[in-house]
């Protein structure tokens, strides 16, 4: 019987990745398989309802569809998940960009990264499956070993709030939050959403402010970025 709400393809992968595993082992298996899907910006997958199937069909994808898929599968395990967005810039000095790609990244507008926060042992844990393992050699913060309990590394360097300089310094990982909605307004620029439609509206609001020139420069960067990532994989 197909899992409720899942497409046939997503259901098939869910069963393959979790067969015979307990809940914690299943979470780790799902995380590892999604992490190892090659990161690519080539195909837009912005609809949270279809993105999980699309990324499996294409065999590659970026942070958005990766975490839509992770959230759907984790929720099918009965685990609470919210979407976590982080503002960042592509011109990260920690990444070993080739000169032309560094030039293209310089001056790009603020982008928004998507990961998940997962409720584990009464804590909202950051789970980020963005970068596939071969990319670590170019300085990407790849999460190679997740234990199913602790926060993973964030795939980007979030732009920090002027009010708070660190996220989650309490025992429960939940500063300044109250009740079930406490993950709605975390500090440091992070925005968390339980409802994917709210997330989509937020993303459209941010990207809708870009100029035609900015959109053209972003597209060029995406194309060159994908080429570079493939060169990294082929050299590993």
Residue 103: give its domain's CATH number. Answer: 3.10.620
Q: Report the mean per-residue pLDDT for the chain.
A: 88
59, 96, 73, 60: which is closest to 232 by C-alpha? 96
Chain segment 157-195, per-residue pLDDT in tens: 999 754 333 333 333 333 333 334 444 445 567 889 998
**CA-wise closest residue to 84 among 156, 25, 163:** 156
Residue 206 is predicted with a pLDDT of 85
Q: What is the pLDDT of residues 74-117, one digit of tens each?
A: 999 999 999 999 999 999 998 999 999 999 999 999 999 999 99
Does any domain span residue 158? yes
Within-domain flag for 1: no
Identify whether 30 is part of a domain: yes
CB 97 within 8 A of CB 105: yes
Give domain status of residue 203, yes or no: yes
Residue 84 lies in a domain: yes
Q: Which domain holds residue 206?
A: 8-235
Do the domain assignments include residue 2? no
pTM of the full structure: 0.88
The answer to the question of residue 3 being in a domain is: no
Read off the pLDDT of residues 44-78 as tens digits, 9 standing for 90 and up. Answer: 899 999 999 999 999 999 999 999 999 999 999 99
Please indicate, yes or no, if residue 223 is contained in any of the structural domains.
Answer: yes
- Quote the number of domains for the chain: 1
């Amino acid at each position: 019987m197909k899992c409720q709400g899942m497409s046939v393809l997503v259901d098939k992968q869910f069963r393959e990745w979790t067969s015979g595993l307990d809940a914690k082992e299943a979470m780790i298996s799902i995380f590892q398989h999604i992490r190892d899907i090659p990161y690519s910006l080539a195909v837009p997958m912005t609809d949270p309802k279809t993105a999980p199937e699309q990324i499996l069909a294409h065999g590659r994808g970026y942070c958005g569809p990766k975490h839509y898929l992770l959230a759907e599968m984790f929720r099918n395990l009965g685990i609470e998940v919210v979407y976590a967005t982080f503002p960042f810039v592509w011109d990260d000095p920690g990444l070993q960009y080739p000169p032309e790609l560094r030039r293209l990244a310089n001056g790009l507008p603020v982008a928004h990264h998507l990961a998940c926060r997962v409720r584990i042992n009464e804590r909202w844990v950051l789970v980020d499956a963005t970068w596939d393992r071969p990319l670590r050699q170019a300085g990407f913060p790849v999460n190679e070993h997740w234990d199913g309990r602790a926060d993973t590394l964030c795939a980007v360097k979030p732009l920090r709030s002027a009010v708070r300089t660190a996220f989650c310094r309490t025992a429960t990982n939940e500063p300044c939050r109250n009740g079930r909605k406490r993950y709605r307004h975390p500090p440091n620029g992070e925005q968390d959403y339980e409802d994917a439609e709210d997330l989509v509206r937020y993303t459209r609001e941010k990207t809708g402010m870009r100029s035609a020139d900015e959109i053209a420069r972003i597209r060029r960067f995406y194309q060159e970025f994908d080429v570079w990532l493939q060169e990294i994989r082929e050299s590993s």
